[in-house]
Every structure is written in C-alpha cells, then in structure tokens.
Amino acid sequence: MTGGSPGTHASRVKLPRDRRREKRFLSHREVAALADAAGPDRLVVLVLAYCGLRFGELAALRVRNVDPLRRRLQIQESATEVDGTMVFGTPKSHRCRSVPVPRSLIEELAAACARKAPSDLVFTAPQGGVLWLRNWRRRVFDPAVTAAGLGELTPHELRHTAASLAVAAGANVKAVQRMLGHASAAMTLDVYSGLFDDDLDAVADRLDAAARTARELPASQQHPDRGHVTIMPRQRAAQPAG
C-alpha cells in the first residue's frame, strides 16, 4: 500500500487549460472596418453587429420578416445544421420576437428584399440556398477579420457587440433582453453584467451632478413653489337685474 495523502497524486495531474477568454466587443469603427472587408457580405456583418441576431436566425430570415416601415425584423425561425442537413425550426428561446433595425440599415435591407417572394430568404449563399455558418466563416468572416486587423474574433461576438453598442446607446436590460431573445432579463444580466456595471457608474455620476447642482443653488431657487399656496378670493355671484 503506497503512502501519501489523497491530494498528493491529484496534485500531479495536469488539468486542462481553461481556453475561455473574455467576451470581445467591437467599436462602431471596428464594425465598419469588418463590414467593408466582408465585401458583398457587408450587410450580413452589419445586421449581426447591430441587430444581435444569432447566425441561424439571420440565415433563416425571410423577406416577409422584414418590415421597412416599422424598421423591425420579425424573428420567427432559425436554421441549424443537424448531421449535415440544414433544419429550420423555432429560435433558441422557442419564442418569436421583434428586433429594431437602425435607420442606416433599413434601406439596404429593403434593397436586399427587392424582387424576391415573401417566402424567399433575405441572405443566401453565392450559389443560392441557405447560408451555412462554417462555410460563411471560412469564405467571408475569417478573411475579413484578418484584413481588418481585428485579431481573434468569432461570428458570435458580433452578437455580443450588438448588446454592448445597445447598452452604450442607453438601452436598459429589458430592451437588450427583448432584442437578443433571452428567456429572461436575469439571463441577460448574467451574460452581460459587466456592461450594466458601466451603466451603474453613469447613474452614479448623474446623481452626483444633480446633488452638486442642488447644493450650489440658493435655497429660494431650489423649490420656489413648494409650501406656497395662493388663495384666490371668492367672487360674488352677480346680482340679478332688478
């Protein structure tokens, strides 16, 4: 029987490296550089980065799901590869949702839908048919990332970018949840808690500025009407003419 404490042998076992890394959030300038480098697929990059769609949801987007007047995308389907076959089903949350589209993109989306039937896909592969993520990444995304000098980046990080840019634009957690299609606001906070920490810092700064302004104002100007009640004299009823 060999000696040694139970932890001795365990300490010699090499644990696998944690290859997870921090989420990557692109700036507006970086999104533009990536989109320009994507060539004909420029609009695909912009929709992923500004609307927060999952790639399967974008691949399944149909002309009838685009509402140019309301600037909305109706996310009703998702395309998923299963054993080498593309299968269409409901989105990951099994709920349909309405996603806002920036004004700068809606005209390009409308043009992409022109001369297509309502059931046609908005975005397709070069030879037609549904977009496959692995093919699109090899053919378009990875070369564009390299050309734009963005280092290590995955297509899913464009969804993270959409969340980051929305929060920076003033969106609250409920709005981000609805845009991304998370099952709950708690899930959104769990995934993007760091983004909302920055938002809390901004709230604290605004509270501080308001308190400082209140301290600097003379007391007579802070609430000029509070506690002051004006009593209007009652008017006598007109006497009937005698």
Tokens of 24: 């990557």
Q: Across the strands, what pairs with 89?
A: 78
Measured between alpha carbons, how far is 124 from 223 in angstroms, rounded to an integer?
62
- Give the per-residue pLDDT at 15: 46
Q: What is the CA radius of gyration of the chain?
A: 28
What is the C-alpha separation between 172 and 240, in angstroms, rounded? 64
pLDDT at 220: 59
Q: In this structure, are residues 78 and 24 in contact, taking their beta carbons and an 8 Å threshold?
A: no
Q: What residue spans of 95-138 are helical by DSSP H?
A: 103-113, 133-136
Rama region for 123: left / alpha / beta (φ>0; ψ in -120 to 50; rest): beta
Q: How would residue 205 be classed by pLDDT, with cut points 50, 70 and 90? A: confident
> What pTM was estimated for this model as a whole?
0.74
Query: What mean pLDDT comes out for the span 188-210?
Result: 75
Give the residue extent of every domain in the chain.
Answer: 28-158
End-to-end CA, the chain: 127
Q: How confident is the model at residue 19 (pLDDT cuts 50, 70, 90)?
A: low
Instruction: Indicate the DSSP class of residue 94.
Output: S
* Helix, coil or strand: residue 53: coil
When pLDDT is cut at 50, 70 and 90, the band that residue 36 belongs to is very high
Domain 28-158: top CATH class? mainly alpha
Per-residue pLDDT band at 145 (split at 50, 70, 90): very high
Mean pLDDT rounded to a whole number for the chain: 83
Residue with the bigger pLDDT between 2 and 182: it is: 182
Phi, psi angle pair for 148, to nearest 5°: -85, -5
